[in-house]
Chain A
Amino acid sequence: MDIFGLAAVLIGIVAATMAFIWLALRVSNGASSGRDPNASHLDQAEKDVEHIFNDEFREELRNRGRLHFEKIIGENAMFLQQDLRLTTSQLNDFMKTEITKKLQDEFSKYEESITDAKQMAIESITKTQEAIEEQRQMMGQQLLQEIENEKSRMVKRFEENLGDIVNHYVLAAIGNQIDLNDQLDYIIADIEANKEVIIQDLSDGA
């Protein structure tokens, strides 16, 4: 039984109680409120009624009614108790189910959020790694280019200054063994090769 059934039972009990009270009031008020023109008939009828429904009989009816009412009340209370227990149990189940469902929903949302966040973090990390890898490759290429440039520069400088390098090496290796007197023929030959230019320059003057 659900909550609507329980409410219907309660409404039924309350309606029965109200009907019984209304009937009792109507019976008790019936004698005093009559204003019939045939008063004698009525009085006669009242007397007959009083004769039939005397106080003892009324008391008997009242007691029976009371007992019946108590019985109904007891039964209804028992039903109510059972229904309450059932309702409580159902309510507990319902609450448990709802809470579980709610919690599951929340957990699933939470899990979804965590999954999204995790995905976003993974994507971010992946992007960062890609960027780092790209940067690393770029830096590697730049470094290789720089090394290549430096190498070319050094080779170029070496080639440009090769004469000086060899001269320096020769000087360091055998510089102290080169006698100027031995170079005289070589020097004279070189001057001889430039003799005409030297003579011309000397004759031209400053």
Chain B
Amino acid sequence: MEHNQNLQLPVSVVGVTDVNRLDRELVAIDEFLHQGAIREPGTAMKLPKTSKLFDELISTNGLNLLQEADRSALRNFLRSIQTNAPRLHISFSADPSPLFLQRLMNYLREKINPKVLVQVGLQPNIGAGCVVRSTNKVFDLSLREDFRKKRGLLMQHIQKLEAHDTKQEVQA
């Protein structure tokens, strides 16, 4: 249980889909090892392939999957993440790059919650920025909302320009 609490999600694990995939890979490895234990020696078995994400998870947490305890701890950790991890839905104007997501997840895991998962959405009309949706709230951090908030400033500039144009027309 203590070991379970010390496990960390790498920043490349972004959403619940990734966690589900990691869980499936862990189940495959678990089954492979279990079958290897009960089969006769010398029987050909196909080693399950693991993803880069899974390898990163293992290396980040320094786990040895040959150990049943580590596998069990990782399984519990992933199940715990699936059920209890806080989730954020963040929409961008374009598809974010992996590097962008990695940096963002780094910040979120560090400042918000180390287990937070993010579901990425797409809203091309927001211009720039993002829209963050937490469990109960929506935070519109887009350029569109920024323009809306600064509507008074825009109007002030437009009125200034209009007054300037009128003055020039009068002078002409």
User: What residues of chain A have their CB less than 8 Å away from a CB belonging to chain B?
Assistant: 159, 162-164, 166-168, 170-171, 175, 178, 180-181, 183-184, 186-188, 190-192, 194-195, 197-199, 201-206
Q: How many A-B residue pairs have CB under 8 A?
A: 103
Main SS class of interface, A = helix
7 new A-B contacts, CB < 8 A, other than A164-B148, A168-B125, A191-B108, are: A163-B147, A167-B125, A167-B126, A186-B129, A191-B141, A195-B112, A199-B113
Expressed in whole angstroms, the Cα–Cα distance for A170 and B93 within the complex equals 13
Q: Taking CB as reference atom, which chain B residue is nearest A171?
A: B127
Q: Assuming A170-B127, A178-B93, A181-B97, is B147 touching A164 (CB within 8 A)?
A: yes
Within 8 A of A (CB), among B141-172: 141, 143-151, 154-155
Is B94 engaged at the interface, CB distance under 8 Å to the other chain? yes
* Cα–Cα, bound, A39→B86 (Å): 183
Q: What would be 15 A-B contacts, judged by CB atoms less than 8 Å apart?
A: A162-B151, A162-B155, A175-B93, A175-B127, A178-B93, A180-B97, A181-B97, A191-B112, A194-B139, A197-B137, A198-B132, A198-B137, A201-B134, A202-B88, A206-B136
CB distance from A184 to the nearest CB of B (A): 6
Interface of chain B residues 112 through 146 with chain A (CB within 8 A): 112-113, 116, 124-130, 132, 134-137, 139, 141, 143-146
Q: Is the CB of B154 within 8 A of A166?
A: yes
Bound together, the chains give a CA A186 to CA B92 distance in angstroms of 13
**What chain B residues lie within 8 Å of A206 (beta carbons)?**
135-136
B88-105 contacts to A, CB under 8 A, are 88, 92-97, 99-100, 103-104
Q: How far is the CA of A163 from the CA of B154 in the complex (A)?
A: 8
Question: Which residues of B line the A interface, CB within 8 A?
Answer: 86, 88, 92-97, 99-100, 103-104, 107-108, 111-113, 116, 124-130, 132, 134-137, 139, 141, 143-151, 154-155
- Do A178 and B127 touch (CB < 8 A)? yes
Verify B104–A198 contact, CB threshold 8 A.
Answer: no
Contact B104 A170, beta carbon cutoff 8 Å: no
A164–B144 touching, CB < 8 Å:
yes
Question: Which residues of the partner chain B approach A195 to less than 8 Å between Cβ atoms?
Answer: 111-112
Chain B contacts for A203, CB-based, 8 A = 86
Q: What is the CA–CA distance of A81 and B91 in the complex, to the nearest angstrom?
A: 133
Cβ A202 vs Cβ B116 within 8 A: yes
